[in-house]
Amino acid sequence: MVPWLKTFRNPYPYYYKEIPVGYLAATIFLMSMGFNYLFEPFEVYRPEHRMGYFWISMVHSLNALWIALIWFGFWNRQVNEEKWTVGKEMLLIAGYLIMVGITQFLVRDIIYDNPLNWTGRYLYEEIRNTLLVGILFACILIPLNFLRLQRRHRNQAGHFQPIPVGNQENPTPNPIFIETRQKSDDFTIDPSIILVAKAEGNYLEIYITAGSKTEKLIKRMTLKDLENQLEHLPNFCKTHRSYLVNLGVVEQVKGNAQGLQLVIPGLDFTVPVSRTMIPLFEQQFTDQ
């Protein structure tokens, strides 16, 4: 693969579930309104205008607002945040901008008195102009934000010094009873052998050590169900909306643009610590 193309495969945070869609759309509206009205980025021919330039800017910005509500509201239900990358972020924004450009074309008859409003030339121009402005901002802000987050999280990761797993004390097993959503599926387990629990739909995958091997238990319960039953044990920390981790088995803490990543012996994947959960993780990790 061409080296610069690898950049698009780097992990990147998916922000749009953290920000209420209404706030995001309102921010886009204000930015669009300010940019269009104050800077007039493209040539305007005022004799064609059916309304003042302020109201034309308002129409364009309202289009950007309602498309944002629909576009990001839809993708918030589809996106797997753990697999989000710089490239996917760019495609998401490009798709949004194309939709806005098409909408700006569809409202031309409201704004402009021009018999050629419905020609392919103006469809092309509206999409092109929207992409030019949006991609310009995206190509500047996304790489800068990626570098900022990557540097920040790598520096944070360097502050954590896990206790070497082989040097940890092994307390006397103290099994606890775990209730699930299905009575016949209830079980008893020594919590010290739990590595991590991962939410998968209506089920929970619980990875445990079994001698020199790692096994996976699948239980019909939520992550919150297990978290509530282990809350008296200080080693367990929710690091992400889908993960509950035994901090006592963490071998290494790494960082990327999405946040921190925990390396746990026996697992073929790293466990994410989302950016919003880093303060809680840091407190519990240093207290253990």
Give how far Cα 70 sits from Cα of 67, 99, 130, Å.
Answer: 5, 10, 18
**Cβ atoms 94, 8 nearer than 8 A:** no
The radius of gyration computed from the CA coordinates of the chain, to the nearest angstrom, equals 25
Q: Using the structure block, give the residue that is written with the tokens 């500047």.
A: 140
For the CA atoms of 85, 243, 260, 10, the dihedral, rounded to the nearest 10 degrees, stands at -10
CATH code matching the domain that covers 165-287, chosen among 2.40.50.100, 1.10.1660.10, 1.20.910.10, 2.40.50.1020: 2.40.50.1020
pLDDT of residue 163: 62
Q: Indicate the domain borders of the chain.
A: 3-157, 165-287
pLDDT at 165: 53
CA atoms within a 13 Å half-sphere pointing along the CA-CB vector of 42: 12
pLDDT of residue 48: 87
Task: Annotate 142-160 with b (16+ C-beta within 10 A) or e (fewer).
Answer: eeebbeebbeebeebbeeb
- Please give the chain's pLDDT, 288 residues, in tens: 555 667 888 999 998 988 889 999 999 999 999 988 887 767 777 888 899 989 999 999 999 999 999 999 999 999 988 889 999 999 999 999 999 999 999 999 999 998 998 999 999 999 999 999 888 888 888 999 999 999 999 998 888 877 665 555 555 558 899 999 988 889 999 999 999 999 998 899 999 998 889 999 999 999 999 999 998 898 999 999 899 999 999 999 999 999 899 999 999 999 999 888 888 898 888 776
Report the predicted TM-score, pTM, of the whole model to 2 decimal places.
Answer: 0.79
Residue tagged 């289009």 (tokens): 63
Reported as half-sphere exposure (CB side, CA atoms, 13 A), residue 158 has a value of 6
Q: How many CB atoms lie within 10 A of CB 36?
A: 22
